[in-house]
Every structure is written in structure tokens, then in C-alpha cells.
Amino acid sequence: MTRAGSPQAIKIADYLFTRIRQLGIKSIFGVPGDYNLRLLDFVEPSGFHWIGNCNELNAAYAADGYARINGLSALITTYGVGELSAINGIAGAFAEKAGVIHIVGTPAREIQNSRARVHHTLADGDYRHFATMASHVTRAQTNILDPMTAPSRIDWVLQQALIYSQPVYIEIPEDMVDVAISASSLSIPISVPEVPLPIDEPVEEVLGRIYSAQRPIILVDGECRSMGILDQVDELVQKTWWPTWTTVFGKGLVNEELPNVYGHYSGRLGSKEWQTYFDTADLVIVLGPHYTDTNTYNFSTVPRDEVSISFSKNAVQIRGETFRDIPDDFLSRLVQTIDKARLNPVQGPSSLSFLNHELSINHEEPLVQKTFYSFVNSIFRENDLILTETGTAAHGGRQFKLPTKSRLFAPATWLSIGYMLPATLGAAVAHCEKNRNGGTRAILFIGDGSLQMSVQEISTIIHQHLNVIIFVINNAGYTIERAIHGRKQIYNDIAPWRHSQALGFFGVNEECSRNSFSARTYGELGIVLHDENIMNGTGVRLIEVFMGREDVEGALLGLMQSQIAKE
Amino acid sequence: MTRAGSPQAIKIADYLFTRIRQLGIKSIFGVPGDYNLRLLDFVEPSGFHWIGNCNELNAAYAADGYARINGLSALITTYGVGELSAINGIAGAFAEKAGVIHIVGTPAREIQNSRARVHHTLADGDYRHFATMASHVTRAQTNILDPMTAPSRIDWVLQQALIYSQPVYIEIPEDMVDVAISASSLSIPISVPEVPLPIDEPVEEVLGRIYSAQRPIILVDGECRSMGILDQVDELVQKTWWPTWTTVFGKGLVNEELPNVYGHYSGRLGSKEWQTYFDTADLVIVLGPHYTDTNTYNFSTVPRDEVSISFSKNAVQIRGETFRDIPDDFLSRLVQTIDKARLNPVQGPSSLSFLNHELSINHEEPLVQKTFYSFVNSIFRENDLILTETGTAAHGGRQFKLPTKSRLFAPATWLSIGYMLPATLGAAVAHCEKNRNGGTRAILFIGDGSLQMSVQEISTIIHQHLNVIIFVINNAGYTIERAIHGRKQIYNDIAPWRHSQALGFFGVNEECSRNSFSARTYGELGIVLHDENIMNGTGVRLIEVFMGREDVEGALLGLMQSQIAKE
């Protein structure tokens, strides 16, 4: 740590980066730009691994992916051009709750105060446009202008990211980077403040309903992650042994190898028996609800208020009544309090037997959405990161039977195509750090349309020596849009690429070309999946799988069919 | 045109696209998304060429490039994810004045009114975030919610784009696309309103100064383009034969082959004789001033108020006094009024003889920034579009001697790296349309760092069969940032790519590989420039030119040297 002057003094950049280190962040993403270079000088000396991305949107997506594994992440961009390029990624992190600390290097205070018409501004002398725009998609914002208030403002903003797992926005004028501030607060870590239980805490009511339940359900939704309650969820699932499902967003947050974990619930699109059980349940414990159309099959899988107890951030909702200001440890104390002896015996519906299509499919058959995902499921291993991009890949990935300790990334609400490839970079970096680089692996499923959005980030993945398998679904365009509208319209087409050349273009090692594969039939795919480079290889491997332009399954099938019917 | 009901009725989408056609737009850029598909159904039937981009930021950049050639352009994105991805490109069009009509397909009114938590929202029920954000970087905005006001709102917003050459923002809810509105106003074209000359119009004062000037200068800046006064500028330059320079932003807007056009003025970095003439000028006619740091060598080339007459949008400034509300045709009338016989004879400074380095450089020598640009200048032809991306390319391009009717794209203020490649797409499309596809050509100069930002748009350029030569300056990272700060810092490095494989990856024709070239020395470059595929070829050709990591020239040289001195 660089100290300027008295022992209690520290440069602002050192203060900020010390705080960020304390919060468990080890790598920082971003792109250099005129107004952040002096700030970037402090990144590596502060002990961080700097990951320079190809562009700022990709950097924001990567930081989001890192935060979803690590809890928090940091992103550095430059004023105007950089931060606005990133803003769609920040909005996604806001909507789906990823704690991205977005640090923007801005022009020096003197320049801003003089309203000088410098580059990366709108040439109107107004320096506040971009911060105002950022305020719509960040939980908290600060502009570090005064050494007196800098420590408390930095701490406050970082704490908001920690509490809410949402992005925050910090502006550092170029001339503030090495201004000395007080270091005295650094000895007290930034943490989630403790709040007392409210007087009317509903623990007895919740326990009463738990003990009286005859047909209970646990429904794990995606905000369990941002609420930081995954351990408690696991404990609840294993203490009650109650039938447990996930939403789309919750999939991968609970161990699918437990006998009482059924997988994800898709309402009338799934098992009739499951649907009947859901419809007649007398208690649904909802953990981390995130009720958006795309996460709930257009709201059809939202449990009825009358039978629900929902655990949200700072609130518990019981039969439609909201108890607010419930502290984070409420669920933990509840789980510990449950007396297993008082739980009624529960008979859940039958599990679906997982189909291993690898054994049953004729090897001459072309790859199709309906069976591709379960076929490829065989390669998944414990601790894998599995990522499914918006589009047919995300719909298909709902079929996956996930191994223990694996994590699934699936789009829930923001659904910005192009997200998942850079998110793979970020998530894989965090995953490696958590596992001390020991044999971790990420497997990405992405359509050819989405790939075009952010393809260059393959180069950063290669450059970072990450262990990533990329399945590119080549179906000649935006097939998910074809299912929604414009089945034959040219606007859903894309320019064709030679995907087999991607690794050669973005990498420089000759071996890259040996890591490119393709398959059109299950026979070909089977051979690829058993290739030594796929089974035990390292680095980036790309498998292009060809499927039909209008081939869809699951929820998309109904959409496509209704379109055909209308024509 | 689809008509619904009475002869006076027209669907909103048809109305909008009819207006856009009337404004001279022939191609529309964008990316499909859930909320704009129904709107996209109207694009091709309305007679437009749809250009689907790889992502929305690239689409915005392309639309900006199209607008700078065509006057106006149109961009279609989807709500939230799409429009926010594009917003940095819109901001650039706002700062540097390109009339991009940004049309966003939004959720149906019923969904918005119910505050439903649907995808592509922040899941907070608030549908106004993104329009509020857009208002910071667009000249005018409208949300088409009511058929009664739709025609006048559309017309008003489009007129703002036409008047100010800045982006505008139009939201079309999905259910409004085919709502019937009155077509009656369509017979009256949208135009720039006429305004009378103000009573105190300064024409006599301006003429008096013109007739008394002994050492006059014409300084052509970049807003001549957005003001739509390029013809009048040309007329003034040829009527007076006064010594004429351009700014960085103005370069390419006046015919550099005229004997009185000296090129661009770089103050103390350029000819001593020019600088003396500037410093002792008694009149500087400034056309379309755009005084930002990067366009004026940090404000050092801004002419003194005491000798300036500046023609801005709606205003004329004479010796520091501003006359407002001056109509667009003021300059035109002024030029016609000038009596050539009353102009004093003027002796300008000597022109710099343009160095044809192709003849004088030892062919063994490696390529360097100092001489590369004048060497390659030999391939330029009349009517070429020449584009230089932010970085060493833009600095180098200031040396170009531009042929008649050519146009130069150079960054002025926004300086968002990644802009110039998609802008090449858009500009080339507009250029082809203006020349009815007759042998037009674009030549792009771009650094390897900038290329990584938006490289995938090469595929759209290939797909659109455009005639583009891309010079990729491989200098292993962000050399312009190395000159500013962090000369040896790793954050200014990038992951290395095999540029020779770009065309093979993004294109599908075998010939692509035959269109890739590279050069490290002037000898090699000379051979490449004389290759038949470069001289007379078509399609996309890529020339990778290798230069030093810290090799800079011009204004950057001083920066780099002062950094080295500090170390």
C-alpha cells in the first residue's frame, strides 16, 4: 500500500482498491481510456489481476459473470464513451442482481468545473449527463470530489453493492487518483449491517405452517444467490426432504442430485403429475422469488398467494401479507429452529427418469433441439460451470440434469443476447480463483446469432488460459425470434461465419485449430464428445453443432406452432 | 403502402416509414428483438434495404456513418437491451452531429400500463428509465401512444433530426405498429422551416470586413457538414480564392486540390510560415466551428475573437458578438452578394509540397507512422471514402492529401474507439446509394486495439458486398494511450490476433483468403498496393501493416517524448 505523508494517509486509489480487495475481489475487468489511465496504474500494484476486455460492454458482462460466482466484482471504464458502452451490461446486472462495482475515470475537477469542451463529452459543457443516466441502472452512485468525504462515500457505495448485490457507480476524476485521504476507517471491514428482528417477526407463524403442511413444496428461485442464502436453502432442502423444484432462474442453485430435488418446474409444459402436486400443494416455501414473465412461463408458475411463504430480500410474505425489515439471518434461524420430528410425512410425485439419449438415438440422425441437451449432458462433471445463452440454448438447458456443485447460468429477465460469452469469461475467472485454479471448467451453449454480438471475447478467454468448451448452435440466425414472430423474415437471418476458424483467428497458438470440432449428427457428436481434447483437454475448445433454422422445443415449440397455424 | 380502412387512413408503421423514405433514407440498420419484430415486418415492404448488424452498438455506429453521408439515417432496436447497447453510438452522433433516427420497439401499451415485470425491463415496473436515459443524448423524443397525435409527434421529431442533424428517439409500442392514423399530412414533406432574417442582420458588417481584409483566412470546421452548407463553403472558397485551411473535423469537407486550400491547420506543430500567417491574419471566416480540445490542438488553433467571423447553426459571431436566429441561407446569400472586384489581392503563404514517399523511401525500411500515411496516399482516387479511426490512424490521416470529391471520416470529439469500422459500413452503403453503386470504394485505417471493439462488423460489410480496403495497424495495443500515459503498462496491451484470418472467419467465400495481405516494410507494402486485388479488386480486402508499439508522430510524438522524459 502506497502511503503519502502521515501513517494515517493513503492515496484515494489505494484506499478504493484496498476496500475492493477486502471485499474478496481478485481480478478487475475493463478497458483503458484517456481518463482512467492513472487509476489503472494502481490496479496491479494493489495485487489485482487486470483483465483487459475487447470492449466495455463485454467487460461489463464479464464483471457480471464474475460477481455471480464471487459475490462482487469490479469494472473500470473511461468517462462517456467507455461507461456508456458498458451501460447495457450494468442494467442487466441491476435487473438480475449482480454486484458490479463500476468505477469510471473522469476528467480532472478543474476541467469539469470550467465546463471545458473536451473529448468524450457531448461538447455542451455539461459533465453530469452520464452519471444521471447511470443512476437509473445502479443501486448507488458517488462522485469522489472531496478528500474529506471520500472514505465515507466510497465505503457507503461499496456497502450498497454488498447489501443488495446490484451495481454501483463511482466516479474518480483524474486528479483525485493520488490525493491523500484518511486511512483510519480501513481497519473496519465493510459489512452488511445487522438489524434486529422486528417485534412482530413471523417465525411462529411460519413454523406453524411448516408443521401443519401435508403437501409442501420448496421452490428455489434465482434471488437466493444475490440474497446470499444458498447454504440455508441447501440446509432447508436436506432437513425437510420436501419435494423441491427450481424456477428457470433458480436452476443450478440447489443440488439436483438430491433425491427430493426434481429439477425445474415448467407448469403445464412439464409432467402432469408434478403439475397436479403443485396445484394441490398446501404450502409453497419460495426462496428468493423473481417473478418476471420469462422466469415464470408468463406468470403461470407463480404459486398462489394463499399457500405461499416467500423469502425475499428484507421481507417475508405469508399468504399475501408482507412482513418487512426481516434481517438476512431470519431464514438461517428458522431452519435451525425446525424440529424434524414435527414435520408430517410427505409423499412427493415421482421423479422423471433422466433419459440418456446417448444410448438410444440412431447415430445417423441429425442433431435436434429436443434431444441434443440430454445427449450432451453426459459430459458434465462435478463442479462444472454450465452456461446457456438466451435463445434455444437457454430453453434447452432447462432439461439438464446438473451434477453436484455445478452452477448453471441461464438468462432470467434481462435477456440481452451477447451476455453469456463474456459472462463465461468472468464466471470462469472467479470459479478458478475460488478453486485455486484446480481443474475447473466452463461449458457454454450459445446460438450463432448471440455469438455475433460479443464473439471477440473468445480472445480474452484464450488469453486468460481458461478451460472452456463452447458449443455454437449453428441454426442460421435468430431462431428464438423466428418462434416469436417472423419465422421466414430476413431480419431474423444473420451473415454466415466459418465458426471452425474462430479459435485460429482469436488465438495465436497453432493448437487452436486442433480444438475446433463440428457435428451434424448424433454419431458425429458422440465421436467429438469422446475426443481426448474434449474429455481431458484444456484451453478453449469450440464445437459447432448444426440444427434446423426452425427447430425449437419446449416453450418455444408452442410459439412456433401457433405462428405456423396463423400463416 | 398498406392502407387500413378509409383512403385517409394508414398504419402507424407505414406512416413512419413513408416519412423516412421521403427524407431520403434508403437503408435501415438494426437488430431484431422481441419488441420490434412486428415493426420490422414493415421495413422491406416499405422499400427499404434492411441491414441487420451483429450488435446494436455497431448498428448505431453504422447509422451514424450513413447519416454523415446521407444527411439522415434510421436505426431500429428493441426495448431495454437493444437501445442501451446502442446508446454510446447515439451519444457520439449527438456530440458530432449525425441525424440518426433511433426507433425503439417497446412492449404493448397494456403491458406497460399494468407495470408487468416482463423481460428487457429492470423488473421494477417502471418503463420510463430508458427513454429518460435517451433524452440526454438525443435532440428530441416521442413515445407513440395515441393515434390522434401520432402523425404530428412523428413529424415533429423527424423535423428536429432534419434541422439539427442530431439523433432523435421514437418509441413504438408493439400494439401501435398497425394502428390506423390519418395519412393526410403525408402530402406535405417534412422540411426545415424558413425563418426571416432578423432586423439587425449583420450582412453589411460582414461584407465590410470581407472587403477590408488584407490577410484573410477561411477556416472550414466540421459542422459545415451538419449545417448543410458544404456547397456554399465551396462557393466561398472558389469565389474569394482566399487561403483556406480546415480543422481536424473539417478535413475532407473542402476540395484539397484547389490551389488555395492548404490542408489542415495544426498550429505550432505545422509549418512556421502558416502559423505566422494565422497569427497575423486580420480576418478569419470560420465555417461550422466545433471547438473541442481534440479538434483544436487543445484550443491552441481557435482563432482570436477579434478577427473572427464564425458561421454556426442559427448564429453568426462577429468579433465575439453573437447575432442569433440567423437563417440557414444567410451564408448562401452572403456568398452571392460578394463583389469579387472589391476584394483585396491576397498573398497567402506557400503550400507545402506533398511528399510522395513511395519514390523516396528505402524499400528495406520498416513501416513507421511518420511516412506510412503519405506513402499509402498514392492509392487514393477521386470519390473515395477514407476513414481513420481514433488513435494513431486518425493522427496519421491528417497528413493525407485528399483527392477531389473524396470524403474523410476522422474522429473529432466523441472518440469512441470501435466506431470507425461500423461507420465504414454505414458510410459505404450511403456512398453506394448516392453513386448508384457505381464503383465506389471505402478505405479504412484502424489500429489493432480499436479493431477488437467491433471487429464482427466486417462480416456485415462482406455480406453487403461493399468495396472496402481495411488497413489494420498492428502495433500490439493501444499505442495512443501509451503516448498519453502508461507507455509500458500491461493495461495498454491487447490479446494478439491473427488478422490474416479475419476475412476467412467472417466471410464464407474462399476468395476472402486471397484478399488478405500484410506488410512490414515499405518494399512489401509497395508490392501489396500494386496488387491487382488492391488496385482494381472488389469486396473486402484487409492489409495488416506492422508498426512499433511506441511509434507515433505529430501531436502524439510530443506526448510520448514528455512521458519518456518523466520516467
Cβ atoms < 10 Å from Cβ of B184: 12
A448 is annotated as contributing to ligand binding: yes
Task: Give the cell for residue A398.
Answer: 432447462
pLDDT (0 to 100) of residue B3: 47
- A447, A399 contact by CB (below 8 A): no
Cα atoms found within 13 Å of the Cα of residue B192, Cβ hemisphere only:
16
Q: Is the pLDDT of residue A214 over 90?
A: yes
Q: Are B541 and B517 in contact (CB under 8 A)?
A: yes
Under the banding of pLDDT at 50, 70 and 90, the label for residue A198 is: confident
Instruction: Indicate whether A487 belongs to any domain.
Output: yes
Low-confidence winner among A199-203, A223-227, A394-398, B368-372 (lowest mean pLDDT):
A199-203
- Tell me which residue in A117, A418, A460 faces B55 most closely, judged by beta carbons: A418
Q: Does B493 touch chain A (CB under 8 A)?
A: yes
Q: Give the CATH number for residue B295.
A: 3.40.50.1220
Q: Are A487 and A452 found together in one domain?
A: yes
Nearest to B54 among A416, A452, A493 (CB): A452
Please give the span between the terminal C-alpha atoms of chain A, in angstroms, as a whole number.
68
Helix (H), strand (E), coil (C) string for A227-249:
HCCHHHHHHHHHHHCCCEEECCC
Q: Is residue B196 part of a domain?
A: no
Total tally of structural domains belonging to chain B: 3
pLDDT, tens digit, 9 for 90 and up, residues A166-182: 999 999 999 999 999 99
For A393, the domain range is 357-566
Residue B37 sits in a domain whose CATH number is 3.40.50.970
Distance CA B550, CA B370 (A): 12
Cβ B55 vs Cβ A418: under 8 Å: yes
- Chain A hits for B453, CB-CB cut-off 8 Å, are 54-55, 456
B contact test, residue of A31, A41, A248 with most B CBs within 10 A: A31
Sequence-distant (6+) residues with CB within 8 A of B231 are none
In a domain, A352, yes or no: no
In a domain, A45, yes or no: yes
Residue-by-residue pLDDT tens, chain B, 567 positions: 444 445 599 999 999 999 999 999 999 999 999 999 999 999 999 999 999 999 999 999 999 999 999 999 999 999 999 999 999 999 999 999 999 999 999 999 999 999 999 999 999 999 999 999 999 999 999 999 999 999 999 999 999 999 999 999 999 999 999 999 999 999 999 999 988 888 778 899 999 999 999 999 999 999 999 999 999 999 999 999 999 999 999 999 999 999 999 999 999 999 999 999 999 999 999 999 999 999 999 999 999 999 999 999 999 999 999 999 998 789 999 999 999 999 999 999 998 776 655 567 889 999 999 999 999 999 999 999 999 999 999 999 999 999 999 999 999 999 999 999 999 999 999 999 999 867 799 999 999 999 999 999 999 999 999 999 999 999 999 999 999 999 999 999 999 999 999 999 998 766 666 899 999 999 999 999 999 999 999 999 999 999 999 999 988 999 999 889 988
C-alpha–C-alpha distance, residues A119 and B410, integer Å: 13
Residue appearing with cell numbers 449583420:
B202
* Cα of A82 to nearest chain B Cα, Å: 8
Q: Do B231 and B308 have their domain in common?
A: yes
Name which of B365, B378, B416 is nearest B394 in CA terms: B416
Average pLDDT, chain A: 94
How far apart CA A417 and CA A58 sit, in angstroms, is 11
Question: How many helices and strands (H and E) does chain A possess?
Answer: 23, 21
A41 to chain B: which residues are within 8 Å by CB?
A: 485-486, 489
Q: In which residue are the cell numbers 461507420 written?
A: B423
Q: Which residues make beta-bridge pairs with B30?
A: B52, B76
Give residue-wise pLDDT tens across range A310-339: 999 999 999 999 999 998 789 999 999 999
Q: Find chain A residues with C-beta within 8 A of B54's C-beta.
A: 452-453, 455, 494-495
Which residues on chain A are in Cβ contact (under 8 Å) with B456?
452-453, 455-456
Q: Tell me the HSE value of A414 on the side-chain side, using a 13 A CA sphere.
A: 29
Residue type, B550: E
Sign for the CA dihedral angle at B206, B209, B212, B216 comes to negative
Cα dihedral across residues A242, A248, A249, A252: positive or negative:
positive
Q: Are residues A493 and A380 in the same domain?
A: yes
Instruction: Identify whether residues A415 and A542 lie together within a single domain.
Output: yes
Q: Flag whether residue B175 sits within 8 Å of chain A, measured between CB atoms.
A: no
Give A85-136 pLDDT, tens digit per residue: 999 999 999 999 999 999 999 999 999 999 999 999 999 999 999 999 999 9
What residues in A contact B226, CB-CB < 8 Å?
Answer: none
Same domain for A375 and A307: no
Written as nine digits, the cell of A547 is 440444427
CA distances from B302 to A122, B248, B266, B279, B308 (A): 19, 12, 10, 11, 10
Distance, in Å, from the CA atom of B485 to the CA atom of B465, rounded to the nearest integer, reads 40
- Tell me, what's the pLDDT at B465? 93
Q: With an 8 Å Cβ cutoff, are A505 and B508 in contact?
A: no
Tell me the Ramachandran region of residue A95: left when phi exceeds 0, alpha when psi lies from -120 to 50, beta otherwise: alpha
Residues 87 to 146 of B: which have CB under 8 A from any A CB?
Answer: 87-88, 91-92, 94-95, 116-123, 129-130, 132-133, 136-137
Is A364 in the same domain as A401? yes
Mean predicted confidence (pLDDT) in A439-446: 94
Specify whether the CB–CB gap between A40 and B486 falls below 8 A. Answer: yes
Is A54–B453 a contact, with Cβ atoms under 8 angstroms apart?
A: yes
Q: Biggest alpha carbon distance in chain B?
A: 77
Instruction: Identify the domain boundary among B187, B221, B243.
Output: B187
Determine contact: B413 vs chain A, CB below 8 A.
Answer: yes
Task: Compute the count of residue pairs across chains A and B with CB atoms less than 8 Å apart.
Answer: 240
- Does B75 contact A at CB distance below 8 Å? no
User: Is residue B195 domain-resident?
Assistant: no
Q: Which is it for the CA torsion A43, A44, A49, A53, positive or negative? A: positive
Residues B153 and B239 in one domain: no
Which site among A133, A248, A419, A454 would you substitute to test the B interface, given the most B Cβ atoms closer than 10 Å to its Cβ?
A133
For residue B320, count other CB atoms closer than 10 A to its CB.
Answer: 10
What DSSP state is assigned to residue B442? Answer: E
Give the separation between CA B149 and CA B156, rounded to whole angstroms. Answer: 11
Instruction: Determine, yes or no, domain membership for B267.
Output: yes
* Residue indicated by cell numbers 482494381: B536
The Cα B558–Cα B427 span in angstroms is 33
Q: CA nearest B28 in A: which residue? A: A491
Q: Are residues B303 and B426 in the same domain?
A: no
Amino acid at B257: E
Q: What DSSP string describes A313-354?
A: TTEEEETTEEEE---TTHHHHHHHH--GGGSPP--PPPPPPP
Which pLDDT score, from 0 to 100, does residue B354 have?
Answer: 64
Q: Tell me which residues of chain A, numbers 244 to 303, contact chain B at a CB-CB cutoff of 8 Å.
A: 290-294
Q: How far is CA A171 from CA A35, A142, B70, B288, B521, in A?
A: 11, 6, 37, 33, 44
Cell numbers at residue B22, please? 421521403
Residues 6+ apart with CB under 8 A from A358: A375, A378, A522, A526
Co-location of B514 and B562 in the same domain: yes
What is the band of A352 on the pLDDT scale with cuts at 50, 70, 90? confident
Do A553 and A451 belong to one domain?
yes
User: Is there a single domain that holds both residue A312 and residue A438?
Assistant: no
pLDDT of residue A3: 47
Beta bridge partners of A329: none
CB atoms within 10 A of CB A5: 9
Q: Look up residue B475 and give its three cell numbers.
A: 502495433
* DSSP codes, A474-495: E-SS-HHHHHHS-TT-GGG---
Q: Does A381 touch chain B (CB under 8 A)?
A: no
d(CA A270, CA A267): 6
Contact A388, A410 (CB under 8 A): yes
Q: Which of A449, A563, A453, A544 is nearest to A496 (CA)?
A: A449
Domain shared by A324 and A414, yes or no: no
Residue partners of A91: CB distance under 8 A and separation at least 6: A136, A137, A414, B80, B81, B84, B122
- Residues A248-302: tens digit of each pLDDT: 999 999 999 999 999 999 999 999 999 999 999 999 999 999 999 999 999 999 9
Note whether B136 contacts A132, CB cutoff 8 Å: yes
Is A510 a residue whose pLDDT tops 70?
no
Is B481 within 8 Å of A416 when comparing Cβ atoms? no
Beta-carbon separation of B122 and A91 below 8 A? yes
Residue B192 lies in a domain: no
Measured torsion, CA atoms of residues B312, B313, B316, B320, in degrees rounded to the nearest 10: -60
Region for residue B130 given its phi and psi (left: phi exceeds 0; alpha: psi -120 to 50; beta: otherwise): alpha
Q: With contact defined as beta carbons under 8 Å apart, do B414 and B88 qualify?
A: no
Whether residue B468 contacts residue B421, with contact meaning beta carbons closer than 8 Å, is answered with no
Cα A367 off chain centre by: 28
| CB-nearest partner of B498 from A57, A478, A508 | A508
**DSSP H helical segments within B465-539, as ranges?**
479-484, 502-506, 511-514, 522-529, 532-535
Q: Among residues B290, B318, B342, which one ends one of the domains? A: B342
Q: Residue holding cell 433422466? A: A354
Most A-contacting residue of B84, B290, B446, B465 (CB-CB within 10 A), to test interface: B84
Picking from B276, B309, B342, the residue at the C-terminal end of a domain is B342
Q: What sign for the dihedral angle of Cα B214, B219, B225, B226?
A: negative
- CA atoms of A102 and B411, how far apart (whole Å): 26
Is B475 annotated in a binding site? The answer is yes
- Helix extents (H) in A361-435: 369-376, 392-397, 420-434
pLDDT tens for each residue of A479-492? 999 999 999 999 99
- Is pLDDT at A438 greater than 80 in this prediction? no
CA distance B305 to B308: 5
The reply to whether B352 falls in a domain is: no
User: How distant is the alpha carbon of residue A518 from its chain centre?
Assistant: 28
Q: Please state, in angstroms and rounded to a whole number, the distance separating the CA atoms of residues B361 and A471.
A: 50
CB contact under 8 A, A414 and B120: yes
Cα(B263)–Cα(B371) distance, integer angstroms: 17
State the pairing for strand pair A516-519/A442-447.
unpaired
Kindly state whether B392 is in contact with chain A, defined as any CB-CB distance less than 8 angstroms: no
